[in-house]
Amino acid sequence: MRFDLARTLLWASVVAILAFLFVPVAIIMVYAFSASNIQGWPIQSFTLQWFARTFADDEVRSALWLSIEVAVVATALAMLMGLLAALAVYRIRGAASEAIAFAIVLPIALPGILTGMALNSYFVLWGINLSFTTIVIGHATFCTVIVYNNVIARLRRLPPSWAEASADLGAGPWRTFRLITLPMLSSALGAGALLAFALSFDEVIVTTFTAGAQTTLPLWIFGAIRLGQHLPEVNVVVCVVILLTIVPVLLAQRLMGRAALLHK
């Protein structure tokens, strides 16, 4: 009887925590349909007009486009570096592999303000103007770990006998990589890329330190909330962004199983 009580309480707290996680997301999505300019609760009347207005807003559209461009380039770089680093770390043991893994995880293990501040003072030191390129450098740096984590997890589960069989049959290392290893890594690489894209698309703290006059979508949202301007449009953007980020996450989970998402 006592044990059952404990179990019931545990399940009840699971439900409570799920409510805690999802009620705020649900509430913010409902706001996108609010007709009012004032962000009060409960919502008095509903409309779709803010969707049309937001999609017609040039500022929002160019911010969205910039965010996509940054995320695409940063993801491509992160895929290349994450794959190479995972292949290297997989082949070595001991202190060197630990040091490399540590350096790669550092940009997300250290506070965002540090990564941002470090990059900012570095660019200023060299007299480099903040631009699209500096945003991408920051994003590629902290996205690499996501691809790396996915690929290394897959590599460690692959049976080495496959590559050995390929070598025994006379394939060189490049051929074995191209025909055996890479195809078996492709879904891990794909899942990592989707998540890296999602992370880059959403990032704001490092970006504020590495962007010059450029406004990514999160920077636009942040600015609008801070100044209290265009709030109905912010509601719409935020609602759409939430819906959009669900797609890569669910896709990545499909591709990889849960290992993909364990590390943001």
- Interface positions, 27-86, toward another protein (CB under 8 A): 27-28, 31, 38-42, 80-82, 84-85
> What is the nearest approach in angstroms of another protein to the Cβ of residue 49?
20
Report which of 102, 100, 103, 70 is spatially closest to residue 87, judged by C-alpha positions: 100
List 68, 72, 76, 105, residue binding another protein (CB under 8 A): 105
Verify binding: residue 182, another protein, rule CB under 8 A: no
List 19, 88, 128, 182, residue binding another protein (CB under 8 A): 88
Residue 168 token pair: 């025994």
Residue 155 token pair: 């590599």
Verify binding: residue 110, another protein, rule CB under 8 A: yes
> What is the nearest approach in angstroms of another protein to the Cβ of residue 34?
10
CA atoms within 13 A on the CB side of 24: 5
Residue 66 token pair: 């910039």
Distance CA 153, CA 165 (A): 22
List 22, 46, 65, 162, residue binding another protein (CB under 8 A): 22
* Segment interacting with another protein, rule: CB under 8 A, options 53-61, 154-162, 181-189, 238-246: 238-246
Residue 142 token pair: 């902290």
* Segment interacting with another protein, rule: CB under 8 A, options 60-68, 156-164, 184-192, 239-247: 239-247
State the angle between helix axes of 58-91 and 217-227 in degrees (0 to 180), rounded to the nearest 10: 130
